[in-house]
Amino acid sequence: MPELKPQYDQLHEYEFYPVNLLTEYQQCIDEGLDIEAYKDVFTAVYYLPNDEVKKKLGDALFEAVCRARQRENYPYNEPSDLASIQALRKPHSYVQIAPADMEDKLLGAWLGRICGCMLGKSIEGIRSHELIQFLKETGNYPLHRYILRSDLTDQICAKYKFPLADGIYADEIDGMPPDDDTNYTVLYQEIIEKYGRDFTPNDVAKTWLSSQPKDAYCTAERVAYCNFVNGFQPPQSAVYQNAYREWIGAQIRGDYFGYINPGNPQLAAEMAWRDACISHVKNGIYGEMFVAAMLSVAAVNSNIRDIILGGLAQIPHTSRLYEAVRSVLSGFENGVSADACFASIHQKYDEHTSHGWCHTIPNAMIVAAALLYGGGDYAKSICMAVQTAFDTDCNAATVGSILGMVYGSNLIPEYWTKPLNNTLHTSIFRVGTVMITDRVKMTLKHIG
């Protein structure tokens, strides 16, 4: 019998590590690994045909990554285990106010997240130069409303590289369409319902395998999913040939842990760690802990500065993420304009590379900036999060979730919520379509 081999050119890029060697190299540089001597090898192997030879060379380069030492004088200390993360926290004290109506706050958080996601979903993946031109051409600049199917003409669609005609728009939906940003919120509610508040990383891994098809997972999540199938358990599942290990995927998964731990950001962040460690390391983990903790603080404090610092207080102050978000806050407090702030994010991170576009750090900076410069205005804040591009639906969902938690459902004008019709569609097996208000009531039940 001839030797059986997969058709490597048929594998999705998320499932064939050598396709991501340029991302891997940049990720290693970001982490401070002494890998520069291999730069030309990473590049040469990346450009080979997708075949058995490329697979073997990719395996060898992964071994080199695993053996790489940290560069001397690397200025950051970024552990991935919970105890070491907690040892590097910088506390922040703030006044807690008992929420008068937690159910309405939770409704605001759910609606805020879903509407923000819908706003960004229509143009997820567009780059800012096309987005700004398109918004101006359709009378929606600065962005202040949903992007609509009725905005499009054949002539407009033909002008842009981004496939506008393929999008999903608010004037054609019957409830919120399935999206990973909202699927995860429901999925983690299901995990708490089944396993309780003491769920483990392995419980999450098992749930992923049984609850959604492989194609529902992207980047680091897809790698982790395939690693589960191949016998890698957390936290090894986050590390094995995972070039996306600090991308935004975990940051979009932490909201529910904030929802069910009002006023307890440490526990919210610890739950987020239990989830994030199955697919991410370092700043990829911190992003989820940061968001979960912010939402926990937002339930009992309405000051945006306290919310951001309360989130940062749960991650290492020696990390790149802490430094980056702190720089946004410092700029805001020192009079840097919103335009200058967002421009600086674009200068530091290249939205035209997948690694720059999808990394946790620039997207967390956008979330913090939109919260600060939005001034508590829901529409202004989610529109800022989308108009700056990068991961539009993820960032607007997070911003909307936090503001909805702070102010409750009355903050969100009916314009934004009406297309949802209280309906959220998911791709989760045995769950399907849910009513948002039913999920709010379940959330109340899960609060510790």
**Region 268-274: what's the mean pLDDT?**
99
Instruction: Report pLDDT for 35.
Output: 97
Q: Is the confidence at residue 59, as pLDDT, over 90? A: yes
pLDDT of residue 448: 78
pLDDT tens string 358-413? 999 999 999 999 999 999 999 999 999 999 999 999 999 999 999 999 999 998 99
pLDDT at 383: 98
- Tell whether the model's pLDDT for residue 70 goes beyond 90: yes
Condensed to tens digits (0 to 9), the pLDDT of residues 227-264 reads 999 999 999 999 999 999 999 999 999 999 999 999 99
CATH superfamily of 99-120+176-446: ADP-ribosylation/Crystallin J1 (1.10.4080.10)
**33 — pLDDT class (breaks 50, 70, 90):** very high
Q: What is the per-residue pLDDT across 124-180, written as a single tens digit (0 to 9) for each?
A: 999 999 999 999 999 999 999 999 999 999 999 999 999 999 999 999 999 999 999
Task: Work out the percent of the chain whose per-residue pLDDT is above 90.
Answer: 98
| pLDDT at 1 exceeding the cut of 80 | no
Domain ranges within the chain, ordered by starting residue: 8-67, 99-120+176-446
pLDDT at 413: 97
Banded model confidence at residue 295, pLDDT cuts 50, 70, 90? very high
SS (H, E, C) the chain: CCCCCCCHHHCCHHHCHHHHHHHHHHHHHHCCECCHHHHHHHHHHHCCCCCHHHHHHHHHHHHHHHHCCECCCCCCCCCCCHHHHHHCCCCCCCCCCCCCCHHHHHHHHHHHHHHHHHHHHCCCCCCHHHHHHHHHHCCCCCCCCCCCHHHCCHHHHHHCCCCHHHCCCHHHCCCECCCHHHHHHHHHHHHHHHHCCCCCHHHHHHHHHHHCCHHHCCHHHHHHHHHHHCCCCCCHHHHCCCCCCCECCCHHHCHHHHHCCCCCHHHHHHHHHHHHCCCCCHHHHHHHHHHHHHHHHHCCCCCHHHHHHHHHCCCCCCCHHHHHHHHHHHHHHCCCCHHHHHHHHHHHCCCCCHHHHHEHHHHHHHHHHHHHHCCCCHHHHHHHHHHCCCCHHHHHHHHHHHHHHHHCHHHCCHHHHHHHCCEEECCCCCCCEEEHHHHHHHHHHHCC
Which pLDDT score, from 0 to 100, does residue 391 have? Answer: 98
pLDDT of residue 401: 98
User: What pLDDT is attached to residue 61?
Assistant: 98
Q: Mean pLDDT for the chain?
A: 97
Q: Which pLDDT does position 113 carry in this prediction?
A: 98
What mean pLDDT do residues 274-280 have?
A: 98
| pLDDT on residue 275 | 98
305-324 pLDDT, tens per residue? 999 999 999 999 999 999 99
Predicted local confidence at residue 376, as pLDDT: 97
Instruction: State yes or no: pLDDT of 2 exceeds 90.
Output: no
Answer whether residue 267 shows pLDDT above 80.
Answer: yes
Confidence (pLDDT) at 219: 98
**Residue 100's pLDDT band (boundaries 50, 70, 90)?**
confident
